[in-house]
C-alpha cells in the first residue's frame, strides 16, 4: 500500500468514498449525499472533495482522486516514514535515499529489495515482486538446471526432464539420478545402489565392501548385516532393514545401567517410563531416572528441585533459606554480601550471620555504609552526608563516594580537572607540565599527570602501581595484604585494611568508614 498514516475523513466530512458513488450523474452538489457530497460537474460524478475546504475542519488536503487525507509535515509522520507534502500523506519512502541499502524505494512507496534486475546479482540475479530470486522463468536458468520452480533453477520436476544414464528424477532434490529403487534397474545392473546408480547384483560377500560388506543373495544387494554376527560394539543387533542397531527388545540390553530398549531410537537407555525407575529416582526424564523435574516432586527437608542435577535439595537460591544464603543446595550463614541475592539484601552480622534487607544504616558499614531502605540493600552512599575524608562527595548514579564530581571541586586552578572516575587530576601535554606534582610523570595518551606507570617507580611503603589511577598503592588484591594487625583486605584505594563490611568484624564491632573494625 501507500503507507498513508494520517488519512481518512475530516471531522464531520466524508468518511471515505472515491471518484464515483451516490447517483449515476450529477450537475450540482445538491444531488450528492453521504460519503460523496460534492459534484464534480465536468465528469458528472459525486466525489468526496474538489478542494481542501470540502474536507471540513482540521489539516486536510484533497488528493488527485478527490479523496480527503490528513495533511502531514516531516515531524508528524511515524518513525521511519516520510511526508510527501504536496499529497499530504506519509509514505515509507519517496526516493532510494529514504531506504537502508541494499533496499530501494518501490512503486508503492515502500522500501523493497529490488525494482529491476539491476538491483540484484550473484546467486539471485532476478527481481520478482520486490525480492531478488534465482529465476522468474526458465529463460533465467542455465542449461544444466533449465527449469524454474519456486523461483529456483532445478534440473528436473519429473522423469521427462531426465535421460541417458540418469533417467529418473529425484523429487526430493530435483536432480536426475540413475535410480530410486531396484524397480528402476534391470539387465546386468538390476540393483539400485546407495549412490542412486544401478549396480550388478551380488552373489557373495566377496563382491561387497565398505559400510555394506555382506551380500543379501536373495535380493542381490550388499547390506550391512544379515545377523548379529555381522555387528558389534555399541550396535550389536541386526535390525529388520539389515542395518546394525543398539537393540530391538529389552533382552538385547545387557548393561545394567541401561537395561531398557528405546524402540523409537533402537538404543539401550536407563528408562522409557517411570515403571523402569527405582523409588529413590522415580521419574523418567530424557531416558534417565531422576529424583525430580520440578518442586512439586520434592518435600520435607529438601523441598526444592535443582533442575540442573534433577535432585531434591534444601535450596536453590538465597530466598529459599531463612538465612538468605544457599551454599551448594544447603542453607547456611553468609561470610560476605557476595553470598546474598544481589541488590536486595546484605550479609548482616550474627551470630549467625544472615542475608536480610537492611532497615537502617547502622546495619551497614565499610564500603557500603548507607542503607537504601527502598531496596533493602547496603550501598556506598545516598548523599554527601554518607561520605567524608578523601572522598567527600556522593556519585548518586553509581552510589559511590568520590573525590569530585565537577572540575571546580578540585584545587589547583585551571590545570586540574575531575576525571570520569571522580578523581582530581592535573592535566598535561608534556613532562614539563607535571614538574613537582605527585611524581612528575605525564601520561600523554590520557593527558594526566600520574605518580607512576609501573611498579619500578614506587616505594617499599607503597610498592604497587595502580595503572588505572596512576598512583603507588600498598596492594592490588587481598593476596598483597599479609594480615598484619588484622589488615587482610585490599581496599579500592589500594590500602590494606581490616574490613569491607560489618560481617568482616568481630561481634560487637563494626566496619567504620576508614575500613577498620571499631
Q: How many CB atoms lie within 10 A of CB 218?
A: 6
Residue 6 has pLDDT above 50, yes or no: no
Residue 312 phi/psi, 5-degree rounding, is -80, 130
Gap between the Cα atoms of 341 and 343, Å rounded: 7
Q: Convert the pLDDT of each residue in 406-460 to its tens digit.
A: 988 987 677 888 888 898 888 888 888 887 766 578 888 888 888 888 899 899 8
414 by DSSP, 3-state: which? helix
Among 68-82, 106-120, 380-394, 503-517, the minimum mean pLDDT is found in 68-82
- For residues 421 and 6, the model is more confident at 421
Q: Convert the pLDDT of each residue in 255-266 to its tens digit.
A: 999 999 999 999
Give the pLDDT score at 343.
Answer: 62
Give the end of a domain, one of 51, 85, 112: 112
- For residues 6 and 383, the model is more confident at 383
Q: Convert the pLDDT of each residue in 218-241 to its tens digit.
A: 888 889 999 999 999 999 999 999
b/e map 91-116, b = 16+ CB within 10 Å: bbbbeeebbeeebbbbeebbbbbbbe
Task: Give a yes or no: residue 136 inside a domain.
Answer: no
> Which residue carries 533493602 as its cell?
376
Give the pLDDT score at 285.
Answer: 96
Residue 248 phi/psi, 5-degree rounding, is -120, -35
Gap between the Cα atoms of 331 and 313, Å rounded: 10
Give the pLDDT score at 7.
Answer: 40
Name the residue among 375, 357, 358, 367 with its Cα closest to residue 400: 367
Name the residue among 473, 443, 478 with its Cα closest to residue 460: 473
What residue numbers bound the domain in which 42 lies?
1-112
Gap between the Cα atoms of 54 and 52, Å rounded: 5
**Banded model confidence at residue 375, pLDDT cuts 50, 70, 90:** confident
Which cell numbers hold the place of 23? 447517483
Task: Give a yes or no: residue 443 inside a domain.
Answer: yes
Give the pLDDT score at 74.
Answer: 61
- CA torsion sign for 88, 91, 95, 97 is positive
Omega before 102 within 30 of 0, i.e. cis = yes
Residue 301 has pLDDT above 60, yes or no: yes
Give the pLDDT score at 87.
Answer: 66
Give the pLDDT score at 11.
Answer: 37
434 by DSSP, 3-state: which? helix
Give the pLDDT score at 70.
Answer: 66
- For residues 10 and 42, the model is more confident at 42
> Which residue carries 536426475 as its cell?
176
Task: Give a yes or no: residue 340 inside a domain.
Answer: no
Q: Are the CB atoms for 503 and 336 separated by under 8 Å?
A: yes
**Banded model confidence at residue 281, pLDDT cuts 50, 70, 90:** very high
Alpha-carbon distance values, 44 to 21, 24, 32, 33 (Å): 11, 8, 10, 14
Give the pLDDT score at 286.
Answer: 94
Give the pLDDT score at 433.
Answer: 85
Give, as one character, the DSSP assignment of residue 124. Answer: B
Q: Are the CB atoms for 274 and 290 separated by under 8 Å?
A: no
Task: Give a yes or no: residue 364 inside a domain.
Answer: no
Give, as one character, the DSSP assignment of residue 230. Answer: G
Omega before 128 within 30 of 0, i.e. cis = no
DSSP 476-509: SSGGG---GGG--EE-TTS-EES-SSGGGSPTT-
Question: What domain count does the chain have?
Answer: 2
Among 142-156, 176-190, 235-249, 402-416, the minimum mean pLDDT is found in 402-416
Residue 3 has pLDDT above 50, yes or no: no
**Banded model confidence at residue 9, pLDDT cuts 50, 70, 90:** very low
Gap between the Cα atoms of 276 and 284, Å rounded: 8
Give the end of a domain, one of 445, 461, 477: 461
Task: Give a yes or no: residue 71 inside a domain.
Answer: yes
- CA torsion sign for 338, 343, 349, 354 is negative
Gap between the Cα atoms of 338 and 347, Å rounded: 8
Q: Convert the pLDDT of each residue in 488-507 to its tens digit.
A: 999 988 999 999 998 899 88
Give the pLDDT score at 166.
Answer: 95
Q: What is the mean pLDDT of residues 290-312?
A: 94
Q: Convert the pLDDT of each residue in 59-77 to its tens digit.
A: 677 877 787 766 776 667 7
Residue 169 has pLDDT above 90, yes or no: yes
Residue 153 has pLDDT above 80, yes or no: yes
Give the pLDDT score at 93.
Answer: 85
Residue 457 phi/psi, 5-degree rounding, is -95, 5
Q: Convert the pLDDT of each residue in 325-367 to its tens digit.
A: 787 788 888 888 887 777 667 888 777 788 888 888 888 888 8
- For residues 65 and 401, the model is more confident at 401
CA angle (165 as vertex; 162, 166 as ends), nearest 5: 40
Among 7-11, 67-71, 320-324, the minimum mean pLDDT is found in 7-11
Task: Give a yes or no: residue 409 inside a domain.
Answer: no
Omega before 226 within 30 of 0, i.e. cis = no
Residue 98 phi/psi, 5-degree rounding, is -85, -5
Give the pLDDT score at 24.
Answer: 62
Q: Are the CB atoms for 102 and 121 separated by under 8 Å?
A: no
Give the end of a domain, one of 112, 134, 155: 112
Mean per-residue pLDDT over the chain, rounded: 86
Task: Give a yes or no: residue 351 inside a domain.
Answer: no
Task: Give a yes or no: residue 325 inside a domain.
Answer: no
Q: Convert the pLDDT of each residue in 364-374 to its tens digit.
A: 888 888 999 88
Amino acid at each position: 500500500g501507500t503507507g498513508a498514516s494520517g488519512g481518512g475523513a475530516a471531522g464531520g466530512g466524508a468518511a471515505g468514498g472515491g471518484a464515483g458513488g451516490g447517483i449515476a450523474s450529477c450537475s450540482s452538489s445538491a444531488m450528492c449525499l453521504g460519503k460523496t457530497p460534492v459534484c464534480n460537474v465536468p465528469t458528472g460524478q459525486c466525489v468526496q472533495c474538489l478542494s481542501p475546504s470540502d474536507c471540513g475542519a482540521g489539516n486536510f488536503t484533497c488528493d488527485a482522486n478527490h479523496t480527503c487525507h490528513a495533511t502531514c509535515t516531516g515531524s508528524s509522520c511515524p518513525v521511519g516514514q516520510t511526508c510527501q507534502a504536496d499529497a499530504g500523506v506519509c509514505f515509507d519512502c519517496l526516493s532510494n535515499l529514504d531506504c537502508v541499502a541494499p533496499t530501494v524505494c518501490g512503486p508503492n512507496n515502500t522500501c523493497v529489495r529490488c525494482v529491476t534486475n539491476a538491483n540484484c546479482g550473484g546467486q539471485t540475479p532476478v527481481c520478482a515482486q520486490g525480492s531478488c530470486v534465482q529465476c522468474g522463468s526458465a529463460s533465467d536458468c542455465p542449461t544444466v538446471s533449465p527449469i524454474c520452480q519456486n523461483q529456483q533453477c532445478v534440473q528436473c520436476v519429473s522423469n521427462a526432464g531426465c535421460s541417458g544414464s540418469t533417467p529418473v528424477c529425484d523429487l526430493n532434490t530435483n536432480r536426475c539420478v540413475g535410480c530410486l529403487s531396484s524397480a528402476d534397474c534391470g539387465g546386468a545392473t538390476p540393483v539400485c545402489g546407495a549412490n542412486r546408480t544401478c549396480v550388478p547384483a551380488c552373489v557373495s560377500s566377496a563382491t561387497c565392501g565398505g559400510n555394506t560388506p555382506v551380500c543379501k543373495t536373495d535380493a542381490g544387494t550388499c547390506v550391512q548385516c544379515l545377523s548379529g554376527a555381522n555387528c558389534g560394539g555399541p550396535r550389536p543387533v541386526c535390525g529388520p532393514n539389515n542395518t546394525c542397531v543398539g537393540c530391538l527388545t529389552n533382552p538385547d540390553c545387557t548393561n545394567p545401567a541401561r537395561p531398557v530398549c528405546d524402540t523409537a531410537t533402537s538404543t539401550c537407555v536407563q528408562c522409557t517410563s517411570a515403571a523402569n525407575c527405582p523409588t529413590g529416582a522415580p521419574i523418567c526424564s530424557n531416558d534417565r531416572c531422576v529424583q525430580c523435574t520440578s518442586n512439586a516432586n520434592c518435600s520435607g527437608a529438601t523441598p526444592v528441585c535443582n533442575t540442573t542435577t534433577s535432585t531434591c535439595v534444601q535450596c536453590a537460591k538465597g530466598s529459599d533459606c531463612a538465612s538468605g544464603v544457599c551454599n551448594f543446595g544447603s542453607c547456611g550463614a553468609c561470610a560476605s554480601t557476595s553470598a546474598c541475592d544481589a541488590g536486595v539484601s546484605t550479609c548482616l552480622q550474627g551470630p549467625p550471620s544472615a542475608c536480610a534487607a537492611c532497615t537502617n544504616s547502622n546495619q551497614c558499614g565499610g564500603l557500603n555504609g548507607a542503607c537504601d531502605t527502598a531496596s533493602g540493600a547496603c550501598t556506598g552512599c545516598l548523599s554527601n552526608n554518607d561520605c567524608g575524608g578523601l572522598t567527600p562527595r556522593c556519585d548518586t548514579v553509581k552510589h559511590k563516594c568520590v573525590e569530585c564530581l565537577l572540575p571546580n571541586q578540585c584545587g589547583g586552578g585551571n590545570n586540574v580537572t575531575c576525571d570520569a572516575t571522580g578523581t582530581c587530576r592535573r592535566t598535561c601535554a608534556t613532562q614539563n607540565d607535571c614538574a613537582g606534582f605527585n611524581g612528575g610523570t605525564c601520561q600523554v595518551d590520557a593527558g594526566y599527570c600520574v605518580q607512576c606507570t609501573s611498579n619500578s617507580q614506587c616505594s617499599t611503603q607503597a610498592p604497587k602501581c595502580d595503572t588505572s589511577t596512576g598512583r603507588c598503592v600498598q596492594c592490588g588484591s587481598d593476596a598483597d595484604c599479609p594480615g598484619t594487625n588484622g589488615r587482610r583486605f585490599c581496599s579500592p584505594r589500594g590500602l590494606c585494611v581490616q574490613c569491607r563490611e560489618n560481617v568482616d568484624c568481630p561481634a560487637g564491632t563494626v566496619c567504620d568508614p576508614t575500613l577498620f573494625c571499631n
